[in-house]
Amino acid sequence: MVDADAIVIEDDEDVKLGCLQALALEGIKAIGYDSVEAVPRPLSRDFRGVIISDIRLPGMDGMSFLAKLTNHDPDLPVIMITGHGDVATAVQAMRDGAYDFIQKPFASQHLVSVVQRALEKRRLAMEVRRLRRQLAAKGDLESRIVGHSPAIVELRELVQNVAAVPTDVMIFGETGTGKELIARCLHDLSGRRGPFVALNCGGLPETLFESEIFGHEAGSFSGATKQRIGKIEYANGGTLFLDEIESMPMAMQVKFLRVLQERVVERLGSNKVIPVDFRVIAATKADLLELSRDGQFRSDLHFRLNIVTIDLPALRNRREDIPLLFEYFVNQAATRLNREPPPIREQVVRELIAHNWPGNVRELRNQAERYALGLRSAPGFEAAEGPVSLATTVENFERSLIAEELKRNDGNISRTAEAMAIAKTTLFDKIRKYDIRVKEG
């Protein structure tokens, strides 16, 4: 995570210091390194700055670094610094994708001018990338949140409606229902320019939590050898996704509540207040209201986060989506494994619909991958406790078939009825009976 407008890589200490000072005087935040190896890795594609690198460096040279950078992110502007005898190499660097080159000795204002133009180019490229991602997300929502059940149709509509609203969101759902998927959809549709930053609150020891989320300054505690940007600060301009929010330590809840209310953050070991503009999407499988009554979660934090709530349905409560989801995951797995997707037998579909799915969509995806590999069901896979009636199984299967055929025919009732060889009136009755949303293309 590099928080800078420019990264300067130069082994000549005087040249490096001169570059950093010239850029700082023009309000351009720059960080200097004396070798490619010293630059933090990996450099995110969301890095909004530019690279300024000498061609001749100890270790990896500037040309090799340029090749790696352009392969990773072709839109990243790289400015090469060249000595008097390296002009031919610099010209080759331009052919290989460098934005520009500067020949030593150079005037400070010339450096600043080139960097400013490169930053504007980077800003425009990032804006185009953001708009493309947002347009793709809008058109792709149905293929990301898969299903035709009323609960999933309503979920897609809710995501579409609240994505661009800047308020914080609470996602509630059992393990495996797709909480991070919904959070990513909300971010992609939000139009926010910053990154999507995910943190599992249950996956960190309490001793590391504060440093991870708030960041720290060098020397702020034993082992803090250099500055670290925390998740909140890194999410500036974007979205902070806090999974298993119920696991956040109580002491951290107090500090995080202050960040939410004031939208400022202080790194450990620093008195500097840093403004942050970020959206919080929290996810939980627990009843936070119940936990707050028991003193295990702060009620004020719960109410602060619980402005917009998205409840994700368990897979057993939308069994009509199981055949479609299973086929989707089998095809995904087959593509990834470079093999033909196997045909899905009716007996398999009946067993899938009858299963309890304690692991929800995640369990179904794992089962689909096993099926694509030609393996038997995973250990512990069994039908729901208590028999599922034949009528329920048939209804779930029929609902799924009708929804899929409607989608294939762009919601056209006449063509769907003809394809299914039933009367239009019968189809209308079944659509009402199963509460299927008809979306005409």
User: What CA–CA distance (Å, rounded) separates 241 from 137?
Assistant: 18
Choosing from 276, 295, 313, the residue where a domain stops is 313
Reported as a single tens digit per residue, the pLDDT across 269-307 is 888 899 999 999 999 999 999 999 999 999 999 999 988
What predicted TM-score, i.e. pTM, was given to this entire model? 0.64
**What sign results for the dihedral spanned by CA atoms 148, 154, 155, 158?**
positive
**Which of 159-173, 211-225, 395-409 is least confident?**
395-409
In the predicted model, what is the mean pLDDT of residues 114-129? Answer: 89
User: What CA–CA distance (Å, rounded) separates 248 from 141?
Assistant: 31
Higher pLDDT, 139 or 132: 132
What is the pLDDT at residue 437?
Answer: 74
User: What CA–CA distance (Å, rounded) separates 276 from 260?
Assistant: 10
With respect to residue 51, please indicate whether it lies within any of the assigned structural domains: yes
With respect to residue 221, please indicate whether it lies within any of the assigned structural domains: yes
With respect to residue 105, please indicate whether it lies within any of the assigned structural domains: yes
| Average pLDDT of the residues of the chain | 86
With respect to residue 57, please indicate whether it lies within any of the assigned structural domains: yes
- Going by C-alpha positions, the residue among 80, 2, 99 that lies closest to residue 46 is 2
Choosing from 270, 297, 313, the residue where a domain stops is 313
In the predicted model, what is the mean pLDDT of residues 92-101? Answer: 88
Give the residue numbers spanning the domain of 85: 6-128
- Going by C-alpha positions, the residue among 79, 19, 26 that lies closest to residue 49 is 79
Q: Say whether both 296 and 196 belong to one domain.
A: yes
Angle at 218 (CA atoms; ends 217, 220), nearest 5 degrees: 70
Q: Quickly state the pLDDT bin for 177 (edges 50, 70, 90).
A: very high
Q: Say whether both 150 and 269 belong to one domain.
A: yes
pLDDT beyond 90 at 88: no
User: What CA–CA distance (Å, rounded) separates 208 from 214?
Assistant: 10
What type of residue sits at position 129?
R
Q: 353: domain CATH number?
A: 1.10.8.60
Q: Say whether both 106 and 152 belong to one domain.
A: no
Q: Say whether both 259 and 361 belong to one domain.
A: no
Choosing from 276, 291, 313, the residue where a domain stops is 313
Q: Say whether both 87 and 152 belong to one domain.
A: no
Q: Say whether both 197 and 297 belong to one domain.
A: yes
What type of residue sits at position 277?
D
For the chain, what is the domain count?
Answer: 3
Q: Quickly state the pLDDT bin for 247 (edges 50, 70, 90).
A: very high
- In this structure, the number of other CB atoms found within 10 A of the CB of residue 259 comes to 19
Q: Say whether both 226 and 280 belong to one domain.
A: yes
Q: Quickly state the pLDDT bin for 152 (edges 50, 70, 90).
A: very high
Q: Say whether both 280 and 330 belong to one domain.
A: no
Both tokens of residue 166?
A: 């800047």
Q: Say whether both 172 and 97 belong to one domain.
A: no
Reported as a single tens digit per residue, the pLDDT across 297-336 is 999 999 999 889 999 999 988 988 999 899 999 999 999 8
Longest dimension (CA), the chain: 84
With respect to residue 135, please indicate whether it lies within any of the assigned structural domains: no
pLDDT beyond 90 at 245: yes
Angle at 332 (CA atoms; ends 329, 336), nearest 5 degrees: 140
Separation in Å, CA 17 to CA 43, 68, 316? 22, 25, 62
Beta strands in 93-155 (DSSP E): 100-103
**What sign results for the dihedral spanned by CA atoms 319, 321, 326, 329?**
negative
User: What CA–CA distance (Å, rounded) separates 103 from 83?
Assistant: 6
In the predicted model, what is the mean pLDDT of residues 47-57? Answer: 91
With respect to residue 140, please indicate whether it lies within any of the assigned structural domains: no
Q: Say whether both 375 and 229 belong to one domain.
A: no
What is the pLDDT at residue 385?
Answer: 45
- Going by C-alpha positions, the residue among 234, 213, 238, 270 that lies closest to residue 4 is 234
Higher pLDDT, 381 or 346: 346
Reported as a single tens digit per residue, the pLDDT across 392-439 is 666 777 777 787 788 778 888 888 888 888 888 888 888 888 778 776
With respect to residue 109, please indicate whether it lies within any of the assigned structural domains: yes
Q: Say whether both 247 and 151 belong to one domain.
A: yes
Beta bridge partners of 241: 198, 281
Q: 50: domain CATH number?
A: 3.40.50.2300
Q: Say whether both 375 and 405 belong to one domain.
A: yes
With respect to residue 438, please indicate whether it lies within any of the assigned structural domains: no
